[in-house]
Structure formats: structure tokens, C-alpha cells
């Protein structure tokens, strides 16, 4: 069965039960989240469901500069792969955020929830006042053991920290897939061409960018995959940009691709972005990036 998506307001929780449900932000749909979904699905006496909030609470409450790993569209895409029966997306506004513990629990009952699968720190209702103990009074509650990775409990915040530190490998490992960003290809300053490395400039909007630097990436366009080398940063050597840029030199590719939506998946971090003394030094280093990348690709292809 295909996952069915149901949008929830504060009141329209109609019975689709009996249901085993997990709740959370699920930003990143990381290995910790994936374990929850697997446990939800393991109960054959009910249908399976996940309830998430859109927008993310930190966005609603206007935390400065808060960015999510996944847009809601990407989250839906990844959750579809988890093969749960229902995804409930709560329209997270101030009314929804004000639901009391009792109101929230009544809504869950109206939805047909009989069992909740959650991590030990799960919270719900106004200011996160609802806890596992409140749920236990009404439902069969399954508290899932912490999923550990890199010696810590896996969490969205930890994965973001790893991406910011340039520890791409660990981040990808804890996500269970290669971190990716979707965006439009926009017009750049066309300087790349004159360096011998034409690049697709990606309009990454409010996506969460990994640490500045050069990365081997997979570049998906028109449902095809090409390898590419991505630079994230301010281009300190030529054409300094105040806002961070994300651009990809696509290997063995010469099509003009403005305005298309593409996906950039981060495979390997190659180096920091650097300020060179001359254009020539930058070009030399970019040649070196290409050699490193082509070698990495060979080793990936062997596996």
C-alpha cells in the first residue's frame, strides 16, 4: 500500500485506526527515526503511522537562522521509502502549538491510536508539556532504546554539527544516506568558464549548507546521475561573494541547464575552501581536485 498523507489541523482528526503511531520532527529521517518506523511497522494488529509537524517548531517560533536538513517535500519523499501506511502532517501554527495535553490525547484517540512508539525524550502538546507518562495512561506505549552512532545518541542536531565540522562521512553514516540539497540552477557570474571550470550555481534557498569547502558530489538532473565537484563558500580568490555560494563543476558534461531543479548529494569532502594568491594557483588546485575526484570515483565504482 502507498503511504497516505493526511493533513491535520487542531480538530479534524478522523478515525483511521486502529493505529500504531510515532510522533516527532523527523528532520533528516536519520537512523534513529528509521528504527522507530521499523518498530511501528512490526505491529501487525494495527496500521502504521507517523505524525510530523510542518513547519518545524523552531521555524514557527522564529529561532534566528534555524534551518532544517529536509524541506517538507524531501521529508515526505524519504518517509515514503519507510513504507508506513499513514503520514499525518500537522499544520503547525500557534493554535496547534497551544493544544493542551488532554486535547492532544483526545485527538490521538479520535485518530484511532492504540499504541505509541517513541524515544525516551518524546514530548508533545503546549510547550512540550506532555511526556511518556501522560501517554501511558491511555495507550500501549513502546519506548525505543536510544540508537547510538559515533558514541552518541543520534539526533538531528548532532548530524548538523557534524556537517558544520566537515565530518561528512559520519553525518552520512548516521543519516543512512548521502546528505543532499535540492535547488534550481541559476545564472552565475560566468567567471568559472574563464577558469576552465564552468559551474552550475545552485540556488539552495534555505537549505542547511555543510561546511565551506570542496566536495565530490553526485549531481542528479533529468533523472540521471553525474559526478561533480562542488564548492561551497564565498569564492575568496575571484569574485568574492558575501553570501555563501554553492556551485558544481559537473564532470564530462557540457549541456546548458539553467532553471532546472537538481539534486546534489555529498559523497566525500576533499578540502577547505582557500584564498589563493592568484587565479593560476586556484586553477592548479582545481585541477588537483579533479584528479582526486576521478580517483575517488574509480574506487566507488569498484565497490
Ligand X SMILES: Cc1cc2nc3c(=O)[nH]c(=O)nc-3n(C[C@H](O)[C@H](O)[C@H](O)COP(=O)(O)O)c2cc1C
Residue 121 contact partner, candidates ligand ATP, ligand X, none, CB within 5 to 8 A by sort of partner: ligand ATP
Please report the beta strands in the chain, taking only residues with DSSP state E, as ranges in sequence order: 4-8, 19-23, 47-54, 86-91, 113-119, 140-144, 148-149, 152-153, 180-186, 200-203, 213-221, 224-233, 245-250, 261-271
List 229, 246, 264, 267, residue binding ligand X (CB under 6 A): 229
**Does 36 interact with ligand ATP (rule: CB under 6 A)?**
yes
**Residue 247 CB, nearest distance to ligand X (Å)?**
5
**Among residues 197, 208, 219, 227, the one that binds ligand X under rule CB under 6 A:** 197
DSSP code for 127: G
CB of 230 to ligand X, least distance (A): 7
Q: Which of 215, 233, 181 is nearest to 68 (CA)?
A: 181
> Is residue 153 at the binding interface for ligand ATP, with CB under 6 A as the rule?
yes
Q: Does 82 bind ligand X (CB under 6 A)?
A: no
Q: Can residue 238 be called a binding residue for ligand X (CB under 6 A)?
A: yes
Q: How many residues does the chain have?
A: 303
Q: Which of 105, 122, 214, 221 binds ligand ATP (CB under 6 A)?
A: 122
DSSP string, 46-69: SEEEEEEEES-HHHHTT-TT---S
Separation of alpha carbons 39 and 221, rounded Å: 35
**Strand 148-149 vs strand 200-203: parallel, antiparallel, or unpaired?**
unpaired
What does the binding site for ligand X look like in residue numbers (CB under 6 A)? 188-192, 197, 199, 201, 214, 229, 231, 235-239, 247, 249, 273-275, 282, 286, 289
What does the binding site for ligand ATP look like in residue numbers (CB under 6 A)? 24-27, 32-33, 36, 118-119, 121-122, 144, 146-147, 153-157
Amino acid at each position: 500500500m502507498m503511504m497516505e498523507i493526511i493533513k491535520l489541523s487542531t480538530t479534524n482528526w478522523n478515525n483511521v485506526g486502529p493505529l500504531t503511531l510515532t510522533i516527532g520532527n523527523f528532520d533528516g529521517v536519520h537512523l534513529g527515526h528509521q528504527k522507530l518506523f521499523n518498530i511501528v511497522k512490526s505491529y501487525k494488529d494495527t496500521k502504521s503511522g507517523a505524525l510530523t509537524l510542518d513547519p518545524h517548531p523552531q521555524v514557527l517560533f522564529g529561532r534566528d537562522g534555524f534551518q532544517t536538513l529536509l524541506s517538507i517535500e524531501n521529508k515526505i519523499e524519504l518517509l515514503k521509502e519507510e513504507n508506513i501506511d499513514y503520514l499525518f502532517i500537522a499544520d503547525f501554527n500557534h493554535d496547534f502549538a497551544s493544544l493542551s495535553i488532554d486535547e492532544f490525547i483526545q485527538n490521538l484517540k479520535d485518530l484511532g491510536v492504540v499504541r505509541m512508539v517513541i524515544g525516551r525524550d518524546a514530548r508533545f502538546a503546549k510547550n512540550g508539556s506532555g511526556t511518556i507518562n501522560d501517554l501511558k495512561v491511555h495507550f500501549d506505549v513502546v519506548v525505543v532504546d536510544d540508537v547510538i552512532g559515533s558514541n552518541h545518541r543520534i539526533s538531528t542536531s548532532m548530524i548538523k554539527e557534524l556537517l558544520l565540522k566537515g565530518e561528512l562521512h559520519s553525518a552520512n553514516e548516521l543519516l543512512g544516506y548521502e546528505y543532499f540539497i535540492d535547488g534550481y540552477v541559476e545564472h552565475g557570474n560566468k567567471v568559472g568558464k574563464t577558469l576552465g571550470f564552468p559551474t552550475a550555481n545552485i540556488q539552495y534557498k534555505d537549505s542547511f549548507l555543510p561546511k565551506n569547502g570542496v566536495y565530490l558530489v553526485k549531481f542528479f538532473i533529468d533523472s540521471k546521475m553525474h559526478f561533480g565537484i562542488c564548492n561551497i563558500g564565498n569564492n575568496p580568490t575571484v569574485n568574492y561573494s558575501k553570501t555563501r555560494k554553492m556551485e558544481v563543476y559537473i564532470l564530462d558534461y557540457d549541456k546548458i541547464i539553467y532553471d532546472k531543479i537538481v539534486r546534489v548529494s555529498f559523497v566525500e569532502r576533499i578540502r577547505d575552501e582557500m584564498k589563493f594568491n592568484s587565479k593560476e594557483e586556484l586553477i592548479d588546485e582545481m585541477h588537483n581536485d579533479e584528479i582526486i575526484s576521478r580517483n575517488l570515483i574509480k574506487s566507488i565504482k569498484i565497490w
